[in-house]
Structure formats: C-alpha cells, structure tokens
Structure 1
Amino acid sequence: MTHPAVRLVDIREAPLSVGEVLTSLDDDAAGGLVLFVGRVRDHDGGRSVNGLEYSAHPSALEQLARVCEAVTDRHEVHGVAVVHRVGSLAIGDIAVVVAAVSAHRGTAFEASRMLIDTLKSEVPIWKHQQFGDGTEEWVGSP
C-alpha cells in the first residue's frame, strides 16, 4: 500500500470484523463514513443456497490494493478499507467489508460504491456456490 489513504486491505480465511474496518478509518476530519457489508445469503437466482466457498488468485491482494489506490486517486477520501474472506462460508457469514471515509457523505458514498463494484469486476476472487438441490455454480471465474 503506497497511498496513505489506503488504510486496510486484506484477504483472509478468518472471520471478518466490521469493527476492525471502522477502527482503521477513524479520522476526526471525516464527516461521513460509508460501510458496505456483504453477507452470504440463503438464495441466488431463485434457488436456495446451502453455503459457498471463495477462492482467490495469488495476485488478488495486489490487485485489490491497486483498486483501493485507484479509488483514492479518483475521490477526495481520507481513507478506504476493504477486507475479503476466502474459504468456506455459511449462510449469514460476512464475505466482504468495504468502507470509505471523507469530509462529506456524498464522496464517501461514491468511493465506497466504486470500491465494491470495481473489486467485484476486476479482482480475481471466485465464488463457488452449493445449492439446495445438490447443484453448484462458479461465479466470477475465468
């Protein structure tokens, strides 16, 4: 992480902490902090989901850091943070936590949205879903 506004970037197997992300972005000059928490839901595309597993390419952490830097270059944020989980997750588990902090709420919303959207489209983290009917699906894999 070379940009000082990139406060926390990680990919890990351990359960994620919203508190850790909030703490990393503590800033008295910030008037707005936007937090997105992605959780494992019990359905997708009209089918029940029993659980899922996330896998990450070895370059994923480096690419995630670049995404964070791009967001900080484009938006006047005081800080951004993102942590993504890999491994087996159950329904209700936290899969990703993304946040941005800025002097103004609008900027924090825009930066947070860009961060999660760009992460989903550019960082090689793949979701393997197991459905209630015994079928499975890979999402985001090449």
Structure 2
Amino acid sequence: MTIFSDPVVLRCGHSFCRECISLSLKSQPQCPQCRVPEKGQFATNHILKSLSEKAKENERSKRGSGAEEAAGGFCPEHEEKLKLFCFTDRQLVCFICRDGEKHEGHQFKPVKEAAALVRKGLENAAAPRPPMSQST
C-alpha cells in the first residue's frame, strides 16, 4: 500500500514487501495476486529495491524533517498534509491529529479559511482609528 520496503519477488513473478508477504503466506501459502502456491522462499527484487530507495529519498528531500517538515505542509507525526488549523492550540494539524485525543473538542477550520479570518482580524486591528475628540 506504500513504497516497497525490502521488496522480494515470488516464483510467479509478483513482488511484495518481505514482511507483508511473510505474514500473508502464514495464513494462505499462495501468491495473494495469482493464487499460485508458494513455499515462502523468495529472492530480493534488486531493481525494485533500488527504485523504492530512490522514491523514499525523493520523498524525504521534498518534505525535510522536523520543523522543516511542518513548515513544508506535512505533519511530523503522521506524515500527512497539514490541511486544518486548530484554533484551540493555534497550530496547523492533519486530519489524523484532528481525530486524536490530543485535539478532542477543539475548534478547527481549513487552513485557507483560518488564514483569511486571521488576516481580517489583523487588518482590523491595524486600521487607523479616528482621533478621539477632547472635551473641555
């Protein structure tokens, strides 16, 4: 379901992550795609391994890490896009964070909508005010 991790090739030619296929073969000793019987002896798929490593490296370089990751629009905890603003904690969050205990009962808005509200508030606060009249 994601980029391959330690990809292997079965006798039938299909490729899977080593851990995924090992777990699958425990319940049914056959290829999950074509149902050809398998004994659990498979070789590393070196071409797919090389491509997977390059794809993961490319993903990491796009996202950065830690604070850079959050600034780049990805949740450092869940590696999901930061699409919501939590008004309670005043921070960007992903949908997984929103549904977690840490943000239970909090107020959220989509990032663009929240930015527009904050911008409007700042503009109102910075707007010149008419001078107060002095009475004698």
- TM-score strictly above 0.5: no
**More helix as a share of residues:** 2
1 or 2 for the larger relative contact order (CA 8 Å, sep ≥6)? 1
Determine which structure has the larger strand proportion and give its number: 1
Compare CA radii of gyration and give the structure with the larger one: 2
